[in-house]
């Protein structure tokens, strides 16, 4: 049965909203397939505004992987701004896809990718606008399967009431496996209804179905155990890991946005995973092991992507891009290849100990020379040992000196506040480091025209990291600490004017902490926030701390737990954590031992180049860590048409 586009009704509303272009679709390289020729249909949503969601690599990759499959279609949806939401409710226009403007409720699977937990209220907005019951228990066989993925899905318990399923880990093969199960169930006439489909997904061991697990609580509020309530449902659900990235060279045809987005470039993921062992970094822990894309594979993706998009900048993405074992050959080869076309290259923030001037010069050769960004994370040597960020201040100063000496005038340093065992003095040393950077820059350049911007975020303990047991610093204590740092920088007549200072107050971090380490009881809080008008909580202008606290008091009434219980409380080894039944590949005992090493200020080497530390990932996958290099060169690659 053909599903009609809602665009005729939507179009009449667009003159009355801001940025209407984000809702019209038709981007270069977007795909619209015939509805009736496909038997499995996915709606993919990044639950944030178009300008944030469209460049998201994960969603873009799955969109292309699914649409390449015969008989399968995938379309995209993003969160609508409150102005359009109000008009859609008034005129009865449902949540729609931007590709063919089909209603979300008509699809088989509604997949949402969560990079951050602060997108949960946007999910509820989309479900409600789509006409899909908010509670999974109220859905019928005709409603889509609501599926969560992305990094936040490694603890989906706070949204367990609202989702039907969650997938942890890499999505490329997972979405195809799910597609096959949905297709077979539909071909058989949807036997057993919605429950049977979810049971088939659960029995794979790689799809988590919250309704098939019961959570038992102890008298003091802690979890007693999480137990399957159906035969054949596994006690633990495993993450998905794509081992050969060259087999998945996506996106092949990157989307080109119609409206301005947060990243105006084409991006290629050059490797996945990280073994640096930074104890605060959830992304580094849950994406193990390291898997490098080959130098030739990278070259082919860049060439194809530039031809398909016309972008003038290529982002080489990973958690620590300069750690690719052939990064020097990659950057030089790409800079040589695209010298005439003036295609610029960029890396995300660079580790101090992986940076060198040759690399920086290659990155800036064809593009503009912008500022350099480094992330020491901690201000003092002591706190960097705690977090296992093995960078000395001497290393940083030497690196910055080389940068200033080679023509750079702007350096940005990223830190966190509220790290475990942190003191006021640890944070004040951030200011000392920034002043030393300016002093070195003046010495090297012989001019006062150098700048250093200090950017600080609040630390939030995350699941599946050694800090998952750690207490979070309160919002008040975070703000007090950052105020002292700000005053010490601004009060310095010699260096203060050359140091920029950017920081977020502690309140959003507390709410993120509540959501990241919460359990199923937090679902009532999220719903209360949504019903009180909470939207776009990741945006400062829309976030309301008071709303979240009031909703938490309401939603957690009678449970014996509160916001502090979830955030500023330290956990013990014996405590059952809400995500323990989701297997990220990391051994819990290893994580605990690393937490104890952190408290004792013991550093751990990168296991990529040293003997194994038994984190548990590699034996489970039956592999040894990949180290490279291949010895291949980027050029010559293919004949380039001029």
pTM of the model: 0.95
Q: Given pLDDT bands bounded at 50, 70 and 90, which one contains residue 499? A: very high
Q: Given pLDDT bands bounded at 50, 70 and 90, which one contains residue 539? A: very high
Residue 625 has what pLDDT?
Answer: 58
Nearest to 637 by CA among 324, 321, 316, 298: 298
Cα separation, 210 vs 159, in Å, equals 9
Q: What are the residues whose beta carbons fall under 8 Å from the beta carbon of 393, sequence distance 6 or more?
A: 381, 433, 436
Take residue 312 and report the two structure tokens written for it. 């003038």
- Cα distances (angstroms) measured from residue 619 to each of 288, 472, 587, 616, 622: 12, 32, 11, 6, 5
**Which of 37-51, 398-412, 557-571 is the least confident region?**
398-412
**Which of 106-115, 374-383, 566-575, 611-620 is the least confident region?**
611-620
Cβ(472)–Cβ(459) below 8 Å: yes
Take residue 566 and report the two structure tokens written for it. 């979830």
Residue 369 has what pLDDT?
Answer: 66
Residue 606 has what pLDDT?
Answer: 85
The helix/strand count (H/E) of the chain reads as 21, 18
Length of the chain: 642
Beta strand ranges found along 53-92 (DSSP E): 72-78
Beta strand ranges found along 182-222 (DSSP E): 213-217
Cβ(305)–Cβ(312) below 8 Å: no
Whether 105 shows a pLDDT value over 60: the answer reads yes
Residue 259 has what pLDDT?
Answer: 86
Residue 489 has what pLDDT?
Answer: 94
Query: Sign of the C-alpha dihedral, residues 145, 148, 149, 154?
Result: negative
pLDDT digits (tens, 9 = 90+) for 501-517: 998 889 999 999 999 99
**Which of 87-96, 167-176, 317-326 is the least confident region?**
317-326
Q: What are the residues whose beta carbons fall under 8 Å from the beta carbon of 482, sequence distance 6 or more?
A: 417, 427, 456, 503, 505, 506
Neighbour-count burial for 486-522, b at 16+ CB within 10 Å, e otherwise: eebbeebeebbebbebebbbbbbbbbbbbbbbbbbbb
Give residue for tokens 């309301």.
Answer: 544
Residue 407 has what pLDDT?
Answer: 83
pLDDT digits (tens, 9 = 90+) for 358-371: 787 787 787 666 67
Cα separation, 642 vs 499, in Å, equals 45
Cα separation, 162 vs 148, in Å, equals 10
Q: At what angle do helices 172-187 and 193-202 cross, to 10 degrees?
A: 140
What single DSSP character describes residue 103? B
Residue 627 has what pLDDT?
Answer: 52
Whether 531 shows a pLDDT value over 50: the answer reads yes
Q: What integer is the mean pLDDT of 131-142?
A: 98
Q: Given pLDDT bands bounded at 50, 70 and 90, which one contains residue 322? A: confident
Whether 633 shows a pLDDT value over 70: the answer reads no
Residue 381 has what pLDDT?
Answer: 95
Give residue for tokens 């995300």.
Answer: 348
Whether 626 shows a pLDDT value over 70: the answer reads no
Residue 576 backbone phi and psi in degrees, to 5: -80, 120
Q: What are the residues whose beta carbons fall under 8 Å from the beta carbon of 351, sequence distance 6 or more?
A: 276, 320, 322, 323, 374, 375, 391
Q: What are the residues whose beta carbons fall under 8 Å from the beta carbon of 557, sequence distance 6 or more?
A: none
Q: Given pLDDT bands bounded at 50, 70 and 90, which one contains residue 634? A: low
Query: Sign of the C-alpha dihedral, residues 219, 221, 223, 228?
Result: positive
Q: What integer is the mean pLDDT of 386-390?
A: 93
pLDDT digits (tens, 9 = 90+) for 274-314: 988 999 999 999 999 999 999 999 999 999 999 999 998 99
What mean pLDDT, rounded, does the chain reach? 92
Q: Which residue has the higher pLDDT, 526 or 362?
A: 526
Q: What integer is the mean pLDDT of 170-182?
A: 98
Whether 341 shows a pLDDT value over 90: the answer reads no
Residue 624 has what pLDDT?
Answer: 60
Residue 1 has what pLDDT?
Answer: 64
Q: Is 554 exposed, middle or buried (0-12, 13-18, 19+ CB in 10 A)?
A: middle
Whether 191 shows a pLDDT value over 50: the answer reads yes
Q: Which residue has the higher pLDDT, 633 or 587?
A: 587
Q: Can you tell me whether residue 370 is helix, strand or coil? A: coil
Residue 640 has what pLDDT?
Answer: 35
Nearest to 460 by CA among 250, 280, 611: 280
Whether 619 shows a pLDDT value over 80: the answer reads no
Percent with pLDDT over 90 in the chain: 79
Residue 641 has what pLDDT?
Answer: 37
pLDDT digits (tens, 9 = 90+) for 399-446: 888 888 888 888 899 999 999 999 999 999 999 999 999 999 999 999
Residue 639 has what pLDDT?
Answer: 32
Residue 198 has what pLDDT?
Answer: 98
Q: What integer is the mean pLDDT of 474-489?
A: 96
Residue 359 has what pLDDT?
Answer: 80
Nearest to 415 by CA among 432, 398, 403: 432
Q: What integer is the mean pLDDT of 84-110?
A: 98
Cα separation, 339 vs 342, in Å, equals 5
Residue 98 has what pLDDT?
Answer: 98
Residue 632 has what pLDDT?
Answer: 58
pLDDT digits (tens, 9 = 90+) for 567-608: 999 999 999 999 999 999 999 999 999 999 999 999 998 887
Percent with pLDDT over 70 in the chain: 95
Q: Which residue has the higher pLDDT, 253 or 322?
A: 253
Give residue for tokens 């499995």.
Answer: 40
Cα separation, 462 vs 516, in Å, equals 6
Q: What are the residues whose beta carbons fall under 8 Å from the beta carbon of 263, sequence distance 6 or more?
A: 55, 315
């Amino acid at each position: 049965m053909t599903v009609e586009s809602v665009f005729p009704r939507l179009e009449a509303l667009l003159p009355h909203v801001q940025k209407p272009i984000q809702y019209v679709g038709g981007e270069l390289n977007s795909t619209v397939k015939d509805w009736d020729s496909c038997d499995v249909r996915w709606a993919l949503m990044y639950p944030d505004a178009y300008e944030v969601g469209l460049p998201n690599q994960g969603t873009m990759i799955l969109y292309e992987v699914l649409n390449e499959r015969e008989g399968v279609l995938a379309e995209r949806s993003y969160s609508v701004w409150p102005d359009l939401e109000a008009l859609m409710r008034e005129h009865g226009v449902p949540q729609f896809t931007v590709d063919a403007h089909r209603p979300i409720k008509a699809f088989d699977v509604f997949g949402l990718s969560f990079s951050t937990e602060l997108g949960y209220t946007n999910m509820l907005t989309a479900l409600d606008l789509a006409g899909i019951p908010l509670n999974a228990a109220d859905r019928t066989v005709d409603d889509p399967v609501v599926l969560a993925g992305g990094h936040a899905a490694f603890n989906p318990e706070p949204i367990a009431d609202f989702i039907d399923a969650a997938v942890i880990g890499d999505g490329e093969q997972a979405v195809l496996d799910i597609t096959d199960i949905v297709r077979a169930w539909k071909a058989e006439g949807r036997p057993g209804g919605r429950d049977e489909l979810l049971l088939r997904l659960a029995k794979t061991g790689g799809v988590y179905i919250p309704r098939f697990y019961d959570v038992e609580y102890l008298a003091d509020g802690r979890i007693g155990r999480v137990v399957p309530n159906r035969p054949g449902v596994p006690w633990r659900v495993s993450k998905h890991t794509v081992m050969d990235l060259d087999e998945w060279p996506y996106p092949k045809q990157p989307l080109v946005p119609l409206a301005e987005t947060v990243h105006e470039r084409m991006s290629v993921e050059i490797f996945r995973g990280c073994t640096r062992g930074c104890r605060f970094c959830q992304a580094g822990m849950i994406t193990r092991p390291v898997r490098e894309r080959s130098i030739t594979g990278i070259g082919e993706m860049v060439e194809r992507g530039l031809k398909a998009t016309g972008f003038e900048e290529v982002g080489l993405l990973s958690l620590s891009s300069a750690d690719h074992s052939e990064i020097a050959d990659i950057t030089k080869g790409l800079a040589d290849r695209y010298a005439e076309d003036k295609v610029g290259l960029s890396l995300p923030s660079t580790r101090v100990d992986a940076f060198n001037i040759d690399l920086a010069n290659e990155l800036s050769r064809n593009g503009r020379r912008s500022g350099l960004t480094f992330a020491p994370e901690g201000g003092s040597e002591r706190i960097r040992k705690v977090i296992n960020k093995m960078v000395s201040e001497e290393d940083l100063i030497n690196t910055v000196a080389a940068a200033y000496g080679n023509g750079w005038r702007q350096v940005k340093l990223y830190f966190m506040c509220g790290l475990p065992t942190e003191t006021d003095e640890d944070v004040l040393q951030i200011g000392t480091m920034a002043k030393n950077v300016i002093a070195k820059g003046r010495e090297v350049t012989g001019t006062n025209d150098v700048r250093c911007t200090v950017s600080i975020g609040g630390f939030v303990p995350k699941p599946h990291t050694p800090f998952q047991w750690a207490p979070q610093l309160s919002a008040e204590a975070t703000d007090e600490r950052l105020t002292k740092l700000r005053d010490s920088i601004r009060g310095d007549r010699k260096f203060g004017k050359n140091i920029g200072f950017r920081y977020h107050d502690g309140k959003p971090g507390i709410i993120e902490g509540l959501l990241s380490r919460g359990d199923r009881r937090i679902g009532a809080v999220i719903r209360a926030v949504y019903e009180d008008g909470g939207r776009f909580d990741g945006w400062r202008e829309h976030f309301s701390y008071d709303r979240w606290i009031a909703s938490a008091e309401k939603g957690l009434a009678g449970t014996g737990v509160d916001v502090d219980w979830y955030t500023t409380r330290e956990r013990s080894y014996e405590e059952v954590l809400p995500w323990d039944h989701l297997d990220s590949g990391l051994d819990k005992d290893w994580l605990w031992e690393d937490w104890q090493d952190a408290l004792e200020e013991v550093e751990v080497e990168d296991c990529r180049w040293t003997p194994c530390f038994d984190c548990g990932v590699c034996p489970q996958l039956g592999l040894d860590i990949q180290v490279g290099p291949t010895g291949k060169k980027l050029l010559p690659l293919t004949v380039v048409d001029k």
